[in-house]
Amino acid sequence: NKELLSVENLKQYFPIKGGIFGRTVNNVKAVDDVSFTVYEGETVSIVGESGCGKSTTGRAILRLDTPTSGKVEFDGVDLVSLNKKQMRKMRKDMQIIFQDPYASLNPRQTVRQILNEAMEIQNVVPKSDRDDRIAELMKTVGLQPFQADRFPHEFSGGQRQRIGIARALSVDPKLIICDEAVSALDVSIQAQVLNLLQRFQREMNLTYLFISHDLGVVRHISDRIIVMYLGKIVEIGDKESIFENPQHPYTKALLSAIPVPDPEIKKERILLQGDIPSPIDPPTGCRFHTRCPFATDKCKEELPVLESLSHMTEGHEAACHYAKEIETGEHKPTKDIT
């Protein structure tokens, strides 16, 4: 498949200013040297605990924040070089759906006005056709056309998320970034919205970058998964590889935390201990070493790079000095793991 989005060495530092001259005294390294590719028509999820940099990555791709450095290429265009006006045009092809649609829907506008405005800004549908388009969009997301004349507060949470989706779809995008898009919804509503998103993907050849802390949701929707920890990618691979053959101790710990449906399946359990360290002054070497049961002195000093080892499937990469040795049992935990 065609490469749609490519992120290269992306860094997003937020300066912390201090002193009487307001100089930058330190940086929050929210995203620190992240690279990955998304192909047309696939769903790539970014998972990790809050503060790992997953939302910041999404915002940097859309240039809602300007990246500190690195390259973001979308459909062959280098986004970082675009000015505001050029970037606004690009947003026709790159939409975002947030966790809380209520916060992103103007409470004083009816749904019709909201959808109209989105189409107006991108100049996608002629004015005379917009009412038809709005009726069609409403039906597409499972709402009634007459409901377009209501205000956001007149809808339930799940319905509001459908309106957020309708707005994203109204401009006929290629990529939709879903940032915790179903996290606030009840489980049954979650499933409905996820199924809707999957249907649109097939019918409209959409590509999703799905940002979530919820591995159950990610398992449902993804083709490939990126695991982030403290601003860095620690593991990337096909969904099956990540779930069935996780390589990085952090990924194993995240997976340990979700219940196993079949009690016969014995999983290696790794409990995540302690809090995520501050991204202002992240741990040296492997950033996970302060919480990793397998950490050694080498982990404190040397930063592990993403690599694919012979026992891993193609495209599966992990950043751990001992991925292989943990797999074979040659490297044992140095701390209690359960």
Residues that bind ligand SF4 (CB under 6 A): 248-249, 286, 288-289, 292, 294-295, 299, 304, 320-322
57 binds, among Mg ion, ligand SF4, none (CB under 5 to 8 A by kind): none
Name the closest residue to Mg ion (Cβ).
Answer: 55
- Considering the rule CB under 5 A, would residue 57 count as an interface residue with Mg ion? no
- Taking the complex as a whole, how short is the minimal distance between the CB of residue 50 and Mg ion, in angstroms? 6
**Whose Cβ is closer to ligand SF4: residue 54's or residue 321's?**
321
**Whose Cβ is closer to ligand SF4: residue 198's or residue 296's?**
296
Tell me how far apart the alpha carbons of residues 290 and 281 are, in angstroms, rounded to a whole number.
13
- Taking the complex as a whole, how short is the minimal distance between the CB of residue 304 and ligand SF4, in angstroms? 5
- Full DSSP string of 165-207: HHHHHHT--SEEEEESTTTTS-HHHHHHHHHHHHHHHHHHT-E
- Taking the complex as a whole, how short is the minimal distance between the CB of residue 256 and Mg ion, in angstroms? 22
How many residues bind Mg ion, per CB under 5 A? 1
Burial of 156 (0-12, 13-18, 19+ CB in 10 A): exposed
**Whose Cβ is closer to ligand SF4: residue 67's or residue 246's?**
246
- Taking the complex as a whole, how short is the minimal distance between the CB of residue 181 and Mg ion, in angstroms? 11
Burial of 131 (0-12, 13-18, 19+ CB in 10 A): middle
**Whose Cβ is closer to ligand SF4: residue 96's or residue 319's?**
319
Query: Which listed range, 51-59, 237-245, 307-315, 326-334, lies at the site for Mg ion (CB under 5 A)?
Result: 51-59
Tell me how far apart the alpha carbons of residues 256 and 265 are, in angstroms, rounded to a whole number.
12
Q: Can you tell me whether residue 291 is helix, strand or coil?
A: coil
Tell me how far apart the alpha carbons of residues 310 and 324 are, in angstroms, rounded to a whole number.
9
Output the six-digit token pair for 141.
Answer: 């997301």
Residue among 55, 57, 222, 290 that touches Mg ion (CB under 5 A): 55
Output the six-digit token pair for 191.
Answer: 């499933």
Site residues (CB under 5 A) for Mg ion? 55
